[in-house]
Amino acid sequence: MTQPTPATVLVVEDDLDLRATIVESLEASGLAAAQASDAADAIERLQGFAYDALVVDLKLPDADGMTVLDEALARYPLIRAVVITGFGGVEEAVTAIRRGAVDFLIKPFQLSQLSRVLRTSMEQLRLREENASLKAQLHERFRFDNIIGRHQSVQSLFATLELVAPMNSTVLIQGETGTGKELIARTIHHNSPRADQRFVAFNAAAIPEPLAEAELFGHVKGAFTGAIASRPGRFEMAHRGTLFIDEVASMSLPLQTKLLRALQEREVERLGEGKPLKVDIRVVAATNMDLKTMVKAGTFREDLYYRLNVIPVTLPALRQRREDIPLLAQHFLTKSCKENNLPAKTVSQEAMRLLMAYEWPGNVRQFENAIEYAATMSGFETEINAETLPTDIRQGTTATVVPPVAIPDEGIHFTSVVSQLERDLILRCLEKTGGNKRQAARLLHLSRTTFIDKLQRLNVVEAGAA
């Protein structure tokens, strides 16, 4: 394994013994040290090499140490510089720091202190550069032009996002599972004035009902059984940033009421604590269900719907924009090949016809997975052909849970058949989720309240835990 290159330090000190001692100490701590005895020597060395750090004496035979400091920072603005002196005071220290030094040490000083100052400063710089790099990557990933598509619905979405992102308005994203609702929410956040603050996600369907309120609003120690310490909720964590509430339709009516109050008042109360806490957040909510229909059915609060639906954004299903499939295929194929060190690939016409004919019930998420599968199964071949696509796409089948119903000559009793189908679907989903009603409702794209009503109406005997 290749060893990392040690950081380099230029030590500028006219006292030979002290200079040698400092160099020996720094090298013993794992740094690579070069040395100069005066300002002219130091400046010549700086002209020929980009050192990571500089240690410079304030008093040199041919010039003030500040001259070397200024020259170093002019050439290398990120160099970590420490000024040392045997005659300095507060005024000199302040001047050195203002000129760009990270610290000022008065002789005699502990050699371990110098090494610690340099290492800490360089580590802070590394973390800042790493953070800047990560932010740049995020910006690159969530640029508007990374939303792929030429279809009119995608172009309209693009225009809407450009207008909405700089605002503080609440956004409601609607679309089928797999259409990229969280991607759009993150794109809005990373192109907003809140981009430097946190993006906090809360999936209302993934958290059990008894814990959802505590997760959203926080709790204090002892608020309920198992609350062994105080914890902030997602609202607090998203302060000054963006709170993304996914699967908002799956919230119970009592939790909807508390969410509505938090959005209206812009304040929350931790469970077990009566003191309100003001929060400054932008809310982006998402759902794969028709909230208007749920409002009419009484399973979603009308006032909460209007509070969330300030800026509605609807994501089209992939089958509604088939003309974008070739663009998406090449985009995901290029991405997969790069991530897996595979040669650049293209999609054959036969394979493309199959991709465009498929219904894609899982939308873009399923499509990306299918392309990655094909890229992997084709190995080092440079073309994706029909044989390397997933089986269901090759066969043109779209998964369905609706069994065929034979229609006899005497006809069927419509209500009984539909009720039996509902019972079968509910029982299969309860079996799949181990009896978890919330997860079963989510599989059927129903609210938990509607799901419970159906259980009672159809007199379904549940298997597993409730």
Q: Around 215, how many Cα atoms within 13 Å sit in the side-chain half-sphere?
A: 17
Give the tens place of pLDDT for each residue, 56-85. 998 899 988 899 999 999 888 889 999 998
Cα–Cα distance for residue pair 465/57, rounded to 1 Å? 74
* Structure-model confidence comparison of residues 463 and 97, the more confident one: 97
Q: Any idea which of 7-21, 210-224, 360-374 has the lowest mean pLDDT? A: 210-224
Q: pLDDT per residue over 140-180, tens digit each?
A: 454 555 678 888 888 888 889 999 999 999 999 999 999 99
How do strand 231-232 and strand 218-219 relate by DSSP bridges?
A: antiparallel
Average model confidence (pLDDT) across the chain? 86
Query: Among 3.30.1360.100, 3.30.70.940, 3.40.50.2300, 2.40.50.140, what is the CATH number of 8-134?
Result: 3.40.50.2300
Class in CATH terms, 318-394: mainly alpha
Fold match flag (8-134 vs 144-314):
yes
User: What ranges do the domains of the chain cover?
Assistant: 8-134, 144-314, 318-394, 414-457
CA 378 – CA 171 distance, rounded (Å): 41
Instruction: Report CA Rg, the chain.
Output: 32
Q: Report pLDDT for 403.
A: 56
Rounded to the nearest 5°, which phi and psi values hold at 36?
-140, 145
The amino acid that residue 330 corresponds to is Q
Give me 64's structure tokens.
Answer: 């003030």
Q: What is the pLDDT of residue 464?
A: 40
Residue 138 clears pLDDT 80, i.e. is over it = no
Calculate what percentage of the chain has a pLDDT beyond 90. Answer: 47
What CATH number does domain 414-457 carry, 1.10.10.60, 3.30.465.10, 3.40.50.2020, 3.40.1390.10? 1.10.10.60
CB atoms inside a 10 Å sphere around CB 220: 17
Which pTM value belongs to this model?
Answer: 0.60
Q: Could you tell me the fold of the domain covering 144-314?
A: Rossmann fold (3.40.50)
